[in-house]
Structure 1
Amino acid sequence: MSNRLFRLLPNAYPVVLDTAFALCATAVYASFAGISSLSPWFGYPLAALIGLPLAVRRRYPLPVLAVVVTALCVATVLEMPLEPHSPTAFALYAVGAWVPRRPAVTALVATVVMSGAALMVSQPTPDDIGLVAFVGLYGSAAWALGRFTRARRAFAAREEAERATRAVTEERLRIARELHDVVAHSLSLITVKAGVAAHVARTRPDEVVDALAVIEATSRDTLVEMRRLLGVLRSDDATGTAPMPGLADLAGLVERAADAGVDVTLEVTGGGLPDGVGLTVFRIVQESVTNVVKHAAPARCSVRVAVTDDEVGIEVVDDGTRAARAGGGHGLMGMRERVAMYGGDFEADRRPAGGFAVKARIPLS
């Protein structure tokens, strides 16, 4: 019950404020009616028409302004008010804040003209021109403040919508990178081994069994990673049921690459990376080795990962003769985006001596 009350308080506060001002305005104008020459049967209902509609000014800004201004102009002609039309200013703020520009401007002009005309009829002397100007400026200032509030709310709403759009886009790109890295790596290994099996099926049947074993193991690992990704998408707390791959999983990655015909040497120094950085390092090495399998196998490849207190360096170099084209494909783009998320540096290009090199540096601070 108390939690529900706390949730209702922010929405109830404006209503309470408007109701309080409406009651105060009604009481003030009822006192004006009591000391004026008007009949109580006419003065008190007129005071109610001036004050009470302000309680619903946010919901019906234009009708409330019309009722309040009309009643206040009648009271002014009858010399009842003793203050500068504060109920009109209160209603004009609501019109400025919640009504579109064209009807809001029309309402302001009509209100200023009607109020000024009523004041001139009530007190048609040159000395009262200043009072007319003051009442007009008072109402216009309230209307302008309402317009400013409306513009500020619209700006905040646009910013919130843009933040939501950016968040959706970034999450979609993150999921796309994960899917690409998982599926591309596994399918590359499966394709290579399936091709080997088809090539030697008649002459070397024993190698077909080995190839099928690699395909089975790779497919099983891919299913595990896909389930982890689906767990991330389905869970409320954005955490999957399986741990994210990191430095400890690089050895298994190297073994699978060797099964696909790429001789990979792995050197890892240091450790203790945060989960997000560890996943980024794993995906960069995975994508780099996958490119070697797809574009340069059979080849030799060296992977070096050096973790220091300040940064982690990644270097994947191969000696293949058909190295991947620098800057092309979604894989290199995904690696570059992953490194850029942490403010690091990324390079990928052919080596002068042959082969291809991928280098990345990710700061840890």
Structure 2
Amino acid sequence: MTATPIGAASPTRPRRAAGLSAAASPARDAAVATAVVIGLWWTVPPEIGRPAQAGLALVVVLAVVLRHRFPRAATAVAALSTGVAWLSGATADPGVLVGWCLFAVAERQGERLAPNRIVAATAVVALLLLLTVAPGDLGGTVRWAVVTIVVLTAAWVLGVRTRRLRRETAVRVATEERLRLSRDVHDALGHSLGTIGVRAGVAAHVDTLSADELREALREIAETARCSVAELHVLLGRIRDGESAGTDLPTDLRTLARTMQRSGIDAAAEIEIDPDIDTDAVSALAAPLRTTLYRVAQEATTNVVRHSGATRCRITLTLTGPPADRWITLCVTDDGRGPGAAPPGHGLTGMEERVHAHGGTLRTGGPPGFTLTATLPATTAARDPQ
């Protein structure tokens, strides 16, 4: 792996997430696939023998376990193995496990509820069955085909609807954050401008103020104004609608590191990219994904400065995998007090919502120190709108 440093050396590289979403679990998938195999495969006396039946079933189970890593390949393998097993009389499975894999494809890449390719493939399979199956077996074959089509269609539709729900969730999270930040701007300016108005009014209308008292009032007004401008600058930087289009992760992570350095923390950031991936791939990521990663890093480093008591912090962004299965991982680690240093409600829920809306996972750990790791599928998030 090659590294493009933005600061000092990187900490230990975080591991990739185990699946597309927080709900993705290979162990759960293996359990479901095993139950289906026992109920719809092993209860069928095979014409090809138990060893061959077990081999085909094992291939399908492995495809289901790998469906989130390689959804298209897993679906193809499961469909081929199930089809061979059915033609050989080794299963009564009407595509349940194939549908389980197809759901992952739709959840990750599906756009239409009834894509032309699936409709055409269904028509071709139905025609082949009618032309190749013996007349005496036609009734059972048609029933199996109809049930299989229903199962696969339901799996695809549910996957697409899940994908759409995630998009809607991402939009809702962004809208809720803009509203929250708008309230923050209103509250911050209302308080500070009110204070400035009161102090200025007193200084202007009280004739008995001495020169020292007047200078003190002006100093308080100036300090309040400086603090308000600084707070407003931070809040507006987070609320700008156009910021997502111009987010430059390497530059923004460097800026976060410099902000921590001004607070006395030894901070650095680094980008890590697989050798086979273009070094411009990070900048080429879609704006919603780059914005989500920046927001998570921003919230994490703010908690480091305010609550951790840390003296050292590292930000690492890692991009791995082939174009069809690319993952991006953000890791923020410090040597502070560890979990529990920040009071409840300091952004962790918001970070989880942002990451999960893109189909990613968020993990925290420690001691020693505190580590926050967000892993998102770059290919999926790249097509999701803000």
TM-score by length of 1: 0.47
Q: Which is higher, the Rg of structure 1 or of structure 2?
A: 1
Higher helix proportion (structure 1 or 2): 1
